């Protein structure tokens, strides 16, 4: 799992003036909406005696914007993480500068709340994946959007790579191909138009597809015979996936998956699905039902994939040309490891009962003397050494 990316913490409608707890990157966070409507996200551990801030309440009144109050001893924290009140010291007490918790940048887009979990300055951050069909808070005219949430006992990288996998559709999804009953499904590297940017790797390709299985969608497409269709898929950053499906030249299904690893073996997934057909709200249940069936087919396969966590070296799996986009994602992962962004989960797990960690926030670059330890990270040198060893094994 990696720091320094934007992760979805919930739907915008989920975050109110009542504090909520969210677990991401194997750490806990508290989110709430203040009196001005602004969402805040802090590390959940109170620096006094370790209580859960999410079990407290939001104080307003004398604090118009709203601050979160710890349920144990009433310490209050502003949205920027500063402690503003320590009741046992009295109203006029000077609050020590060290009395702060990590606060994380928050953005609301596409009906979701995103938190930037890391310490990079704004200009160096990977942006949230762009949805071209959105220009503002709502989809462009002619498009209809739905949001669905899933939370499964799978590794998020397994999920990302499944989204990039052009070869699995024929066998996992009966509505996406011919259920493995055709012999002409070979995929060669030259069949892919590769996408490779600073934060993305993916591909576009064309393939033969049967008519849409759903009768109403098939009628909307106007296609009742097999055809060559074009589409593409790719990742953005560590845990976001775009998939563009065009059953006909005029019919489009554009899917954007925003994932947050809860911990090593559990993942929270938010699917923003856009369509330019059957755009009436009454068709949402049909489209969401279709998406759910497909998503559960993926889930059922991934639940039994071993090892549960994606192998750290490619030598532990046998790749084919169809896996070129997955290889591109793993190359990006290696680059982020080289920047020292991978959480050292072995160390986190060793200290799970003895140390309360926090994901380092941008303020750690301006202030020292933090009470909570920063989550341990794999040193870039160690990540590079792993790959050298992998290369030596591959050459034997």
What 3 state SS string does 2-13 have?
ECCEEEEEEEHH
- Check whether residue 14 and residue 103 sit in a common domain: yes
- Check whether residue 183 and residue 308 sit in a common domain: yes
- Check whether residue 246 and residue 321 sit in a common domain: yes
Ranges under pLDDT 70 in the chain: 61-65, 177-186, 188, 381-396
Q: Tell me the C-alpha distance between 54 and 42, whole Å.
A: 10
- Check whether residue 113 and residue 146 sit in a common domain: no
Q: Is 55 a domain residue?
A: yes
- Note the pLDDT of residue 4: 98
Q: Is 83 a domain residue?
A: yes
- Note the pLDDT of residue 207: 82
> Would the CA dihedral through 368, 371, 375, 378 be positive or negative?
positive
Q: Is 382 a domain residue?
A: no
Q: Is 339 a domain residue?
A: no
- Check whether residue 213 and residue 113 sit in a common domain: no
> Would the CA dihedral through 366, 369, 371, 375 be positive or negative?
positive
pTM of the full predicted structure?
0.93
- Check whether residue 139 and residue 235 sit in a common domain: yes
Dihedral pair phi/psi, residue 55, rounded to 5°: -85, 0
CB 329 within 8 A of CB 259: no
Helix or strand holding residue 69 (H, E): strand 67-69
* CA distances, 4 to each of 122, 159, 217, 360 (Å): 10, 20, 40, 9
Q: Which CATH number fits the domain that encloses residue 311? A: 3.90.380.10
Q: Tell me the C-alpha distance between 132 and 95, whole Å.
A: 46
- Check whether residue 171 and residue 298 sit in a common domain: yes
Q: Tell me the C-alpha distance between 168 and 219, whole Å.
A: 26
Last residue of a domain, one of 123, 146, 168: 123
- Check whether residue 64 and residue 111 sit in a common domain: yes
Q: Is 164 a domain residue?
A: yes
* CA distances, 172 to each of 116, 295, 327, 329 (Å): 34, 10, 21, 22
- Check whether residue 119 and residue 151 sit in a common domain: no
Last residue of a domain, one of 288, 308, 329: 329
362 CB-near residues (< 8 Å, 6+ apart): 105, 116, 118, 119, 120, 121, 122
Question: E strands, 25-63, where?
Answer: 27-33, 39-43, 57-59
Q: What is the pLDDT of residues 204-220, one digit of tens each?
A: 988 888 888 889 999 99
Q: Is 130 a domain residue?
A: no
Q: Which CATH number fits the domain that encloses residue 33? A: 2.102.10.10
Helix or strand holding residue 349 (H, E): helix 345-350
- Check whether residue 214 and residue 309 sit in a common domain: yes
Q: Is 360 a domain residue?
A: no
Range of the domain at 93: 5-123
Q: Is 357 a domain residue?
A: no
- Check whether residue 170 and residue 293 sit in a common domain: yes
Size (the chain), residues:
396
Rg (CA), the chain: 23
Considering its fold, how many domains does the chain have in total?
2
- Check whether residue 105 and residue 166 sit in a common domain: no
Last residue of a domain, one of 329, 349, 368: 329
């Amino acid at each position: 799992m990696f720091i320094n990316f934007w992760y979805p913490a919930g739907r915008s409608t989920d975050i109110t003036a009542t504090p909520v707890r969210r677990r991401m990157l194997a750490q806990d966070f508290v989110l709430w909406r203040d009196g001005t409507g602004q969402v805040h996200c802090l590390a959940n551990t109170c620096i006094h005696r370790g209580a859960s801030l999410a079990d407290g309440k939001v104080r307003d009144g004398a604090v118009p914007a709203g601050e979160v109050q710890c349920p144990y001893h009433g310490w209050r924290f502003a949205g920027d993480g500063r402690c503003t009140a320590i009741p046992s010291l009295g109203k006029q007490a000077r609050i020590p500068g060290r009395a702060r918790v990590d606060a994380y940048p928050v953005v609301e887009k596409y009906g979701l709340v995103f938190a930037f979990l890391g310490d990079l300055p704004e200009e160096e951050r990977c942006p949230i994946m762009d949805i071209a069909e959105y220009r503002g808070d709502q989809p462009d005219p002619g498009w209809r959007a739905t949001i669905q949430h899933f939370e499964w006992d799978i590794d998020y990288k397994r999920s990302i790579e499944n989204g990039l996998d052009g070869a699995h559709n024929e066998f996992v999804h009966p509505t996406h191909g011919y259920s493995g009953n055709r012999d002409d499904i070979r995929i060669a590297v030259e069949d892919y138009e590769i996408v490779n940017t600073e934060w993305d790797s993916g591909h576009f390709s064309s393939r033969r597809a049967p008519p849409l299985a759903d009768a109403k969608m098939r009628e909307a497409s106007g296609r009742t015979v097999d055809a060559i269709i074009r589409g593409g898929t790719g990742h953005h950053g560590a845990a976001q996936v775009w998939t563009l499906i065009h059953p006909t030249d005029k019919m489009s299904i554009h899917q954007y998956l925003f994932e947050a690893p809860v911990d090593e073996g559990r993942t929270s997934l938010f699917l923003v699905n856009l369509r330019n057909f059957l755009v009436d709200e009454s068709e949402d249940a049909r489209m969401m039902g279709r998406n759910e069936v497909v998503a559960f087919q993926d889930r059922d396969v991934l639940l039994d994939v071993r090892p549960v966590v994606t192998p750290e070296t490619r030598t532990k799996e046998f790749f084919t040309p169809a896996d070129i986009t997955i290889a591109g994602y793993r190359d990006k992962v290696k680059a982020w490891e080289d920047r020292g962004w991978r959480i050292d989960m072995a160390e986190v797990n060793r200290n799970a009962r003895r140390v309360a960690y926090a994901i380092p926030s941008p303020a750690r670059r301006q202030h020292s003397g933090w009470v909570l330890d920063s989550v341990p990270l794999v040193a870039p040198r160690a990540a590079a050494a792993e790959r050298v060893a992998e290369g030596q094994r591959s050459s034997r």
